[in-house]
Amino acid sequence: MSRLNSFIRRVTAQRDCLDAAARLVAGLPGPALELGLGNGRTFDHLRRILPDRAIYVFERRVAAHPDCIPDDDHLLLGDFRDTVPAAPARIGAPAALAHCDIGSGDRAATAELAAWLGPALVPLLADGAVVVGDQPFAVPALTPLPLPDGVAPGRYHMYRHTGGSP
């Protein structure tokens, strides 16, 4: 498969999972979280599918399209290891949805970050929240959800926060 076709499959899976997650949390109060702004495409999509929710974005360094950058009140700038643990006071309510796009070209570093982030994310989530991400999380409080039709297993991941601690 060409890199272009792989990219298309990844972003299609990402979109389909985010759309499904938005439907799943429609009746659940709370903000949405975007971990990894990148160029802002998924943040922009979340704004459109969750127009009445606050969206808090976690990013190390902003390099997004100018139209896809959150305001300062909704941007948590810095390393996830610093911003995620400090976030509850900032976001003010448990999140209904979290999107984690944390993969990099370094598989070992990405796996290490995912192993840390999964448990660290749980305290930010409402019971019943949905987590969508490009990396798997092996966290007891996160139960895998079926993927939308057409999304290949392992291409993207969806979880429901079932309560409890990491």
The pTM of this model reads 0.95
Domain that holds residue 66: 3-161
Q: What is the CATH classification number for the domain harbouring 74?
A: 3.40.50.150
Percent of the chain with pLDDT over 70: 99
Tokens of 160: 């429901």
Residue 147 inside a domain? The answer is yes
The total number of structural domains in the chain stands at 1
What average pLDDT does this structure show over 138-159? 96
State yes or no: pLDDT of 125 exceeds 80. yes
Residue 49 inside a domain? The answer is yes
State yes or no: pLDDT of 166 exceeds 90. no
Residue 166 inside a domain? The answer is no
Residue 28: predicted pLDDT = 97
Q: List pLDDT tens digits, range 65-107.
A: 999 999 999 999 999 999 999 999 999 999 999 999 998 888 9
